[in-house]
Amino acid sequence: MLQHTTVSKADKRFGWFDGLFGDTSEKKEIARDIDLLCNDYAAAVRIAANLSSHSKWIPYPFLSNRLKGIAEEIRSQAEALRAKIAELNGQLPPVSVENRDVLGFRQNVKRLVHDMEEHASRTEILMHQRNRMENPDIIRLIDALILDMQRQKEELLNIVMRLS
């Protein structure tokens, strides 16, 4: 026996609509989060490489070792970002690292200051991104990164001040 069910106009109008756009908006949000994390990953890899190159020309071993330590911390932050991107099924972006020659002391200090400023601006960018995220795992990761980066910023400033 054929049963006839009544479907209201609202069910017809919103039933397929919710399924269509509900998944799509969630996918767009995840794609946006992955893009932001990829940008953060690329910046972290680049900054870590630059700081490692600075450690080669610094004449004071204790400052050079501190800078190497910061570079290693930033590499581990990049690894945490890479793991989160992989967890979200994202593709890692290609990262180009500048091969730097050792210049005169003052020019190298200027480069270090520039890299310190880039690190500080990445911290601010992460703070803004945190407000746009909804995934609690990503928010926890970004919060941890921000705390580490604020401490690293102070250490970098201390190193630059000692070199100036």
What's the pLDDT tens digit per position in 115-160?
Answer: 999 999 999 999 999 888 888 999 999 999 999 999 999 999 999 9
The DSSP output letter for 91 is P
Q: Average pLDDT of 54-69?
A: 93
Residue type, 94: P
Domain extents in the chain: 29-163
> What pLDDT sits at residue 26?
77
Q: Global pTM?
A: 0.79
- What is the pLDDT of the chain when averaged over all its residues? 84
The structure tokens listed for 118 are 């880039």
d(CA 68, CA 51): 7
What CATH code is assigned to 29-163? 1.20.1260.10
Cβ-proximal residues to 54 (8 Å cutoff; 6+ apart), any chain:
67, 108, 111, 112, 115
Q: Average pLDDT of 40-60?
A: 92
Nearest to 97 by CA among 76, 75, 81, 125: 75
pLDDT tens digits, 93-120: 888 777 766 678 888 889 999 999 999 9
Q: Percent helix, strand and coil across the chain, each rounded to 5? A: 80, 0, 20
